Amino acid sequence: MDERMWHQSSDVSLVIRTDFAHPQEWTAIQAAIAEPQTEDGFTAFVAFVDDRAFEGITPSQLLEVVPADFNHAVAFLVDTKALTHPDRPILVVNLYDYVEDLED
C-alpha cells in the first residue's frame, strides 16, 4: 500500500478500487467520474487508487488503515456492486467518524 496516497491535498477525494475482477467496468467508472459534470466544465477532484492491497476491503477495514493525520472527509469505495450493478452505486465512507477530536 502506497502511504503517499493518504497525504494528497484535502481537495482531492480518493476513489479506491476494491474489486479486480471487472477491469472494463473500472475503466468505465473512472471515465464517468473524470468527465465534466456541468455545463461550465466542472470535474471532480479525485485520485484513483488501483492497488491490490485494497482488494475486498470493507468500510470498517478501510477505517482501520487510515493514518491519524489524514485530513479528508470521505473516501469512495468502488466494489463489486458498483462495478456490476447498472446504477453503479459507489460506496461513500465517512472518514470524520474516524478522526479523533474533530469538531462538528
pLDDT in tens, 38-71: 777 777 889 999 999 999 999 999 988 888 777 7
| Confidence band, pLDDT 50/70/90 cuts, at residue 1 | low
Question: How confident is the model at residue 81, as a pLDDT?
Answer: 96
Q: Model-level pTM?
A: 0.83
pLDDT at 15 > cutoff 90: yes
Those residues whose C-beta lies under 8 Å from the C-beta of residue 92, and which sit 6 or more positions away, are 74, 75, 76
| Alpha carbon separation from 64 to 2, 22, 78, 96, 99 (Å, rounded) | 15, 26, 18, 13, 11
